[in-house]
Amino acid sequence: MHLKNDLLIRAAKGQMTERKPVWLMRQAGRILPEYRAVRERLSGFIELVKTPELAAEVTLQPVDILGVDAAIIFSDILVIPEAMGLPYEMIEKKGPFFPKTIQSADDILRLKQAEPDDLAYVLEAIRLTKTALNGRVPLIGFAGAPWTIFSYMVEGSGSKTFSKARAMLYTEPDMAHSLLQLITESTIHYLKAQIKAGADLVQVFDSWAGILPKEHYEAFALPYIRQICEAIKATPLTVFAKGAYFSRAALAALDCEVIGLDWNMDIAESRAIIGKDKTLQGNLDPAVLYGSFSEIKKATETMLDRFGPGRHIVNLGHGVYPDIQPDKVRCFIETVKEYGQPSHAS
């Protein structure tokens, strides 16, 4: 379908744009009262994820209400472990919880490769969203990076250290590789199915990249992201490896169009390491949106100045925090639109 606003896609490919596209990670979620209203009527987060009509409805909300230049399909990275045979729960105010976790080679043998059919509810949500968007803005599909998915499957919940997951890399490296490979194959099939269903760009979230030492990141995380990059050819691909400042040169060598920067990564230094052949995405500190409107405007303009006219998709350096006021998010978006700086092809 023809896209009326294709700024995101052109910026991802390094083509000239009249102004930079802007969207926010976690834009479809608790920042919007309209989201919370839909969510309150249901048994929980998972029911929302598994009801395509409602997932599509909340995917569209930030496009209508905030004026972002892209929609991101409402789902979660944890649908992949579930499709592999490891179901999750989402505990109110606490986060994900896996009643069973992966501790042994036998546990891995009991898993299966996820097939697109296991994730039919996400694919249906994508199709419904594409129809409803009618080309207004591109739709972003996504998946967790293998290392981040592995972390949850071994740890069983969020954690400050992910010490169980990290321990396995030292104690059972072969086992870790076999699980990472199974996740990778599941993810490749899943992303290809999302693209077939209508996703215009896909993003891989490596949220826990930053807890690994460089050697482990390059042994246990990057090779699997590389496989994904090599398999996905039909749309642009974004790799967001939060905290992996130490591997920016290796990330730059991936066959992907866009690299996400978190707010700790220096913009000029990142551009120098990554080079001109990639679009950079990011990277305003999400906490800036707690500030006043004038502070948000100033910080956003400073960020835009620092990125300059090169290939750039504007975003925060991580997901928007759920207690941010929608007006503050709108101020960020409006500032980008008013700044109006063209982004050049490299």
Q: Between 76 and 115, whose beta carbon lies closer to ligand CP3?
A: 76
Q: Between 78 and 313, whose beta carbon lies closer to ligand CP3?
A: 78
State the Cα–Cα distance between residues 66 and 9, nearest whole angstrom: 19
Q: Which of 19, 26, 127, 136 is the catalytic position?
A: 26
Minimum gap (Å) between residue 336 Cβ and ligand CP3: 18
Q: Which of 19, 30, 136, 330 is the catalytic position?
A: 30
User: Does the active-site annotation cover 152?
Assistant: yes
User: Does the active-site annotation cover 290?
Assistant: no
Q: Between 79 and 336, whose beta carbon lies closer to ligand CP3?
A: 79
Q: Which of 19, 36, 39, 226 is the catalytic position?
A: 39
Q: Which of 69, 71, 16, 11 is nearest to 278 (CA)?
A: 11
Q: Which of 6, 35, 88, 152 is the catalytic position?
A: 152
Q: Between 14 and 88, whose beta carbon lies closer to ligand CP3?
A: 88
Minimum gap (Å) between residue 298 Cβ and ligand CP3: 26
Residues of this chain that bind ligand CP3 (CB under 6 A): 25-30, 39, 45, 72, 74, 76-78, 90, 95-96, 142, 158, 205, 207, 319
Minimum gap (Å) between residue 290 Cβ and ligand CP3: 17
Minimum gap (Å) between residue 133 Cβ and ligand CP3: 15
User: Does the active-site annotation cover 30?
Assistant: yes
Instruction: Tell me the C-alpha to C-alpha distance, in Å, between residue 225 and each of 24, 103, 155, 222.
Output: 22, 23, 21, 5
Q: Between 14 and 48, whose beta carbon lies closer to ligand CP3?
A: 48
Minimum gap (Å) between residue 248 Cβ and ligand CP3: 18
Catalytic residue IDs: 26, 30, 39, 76, 152
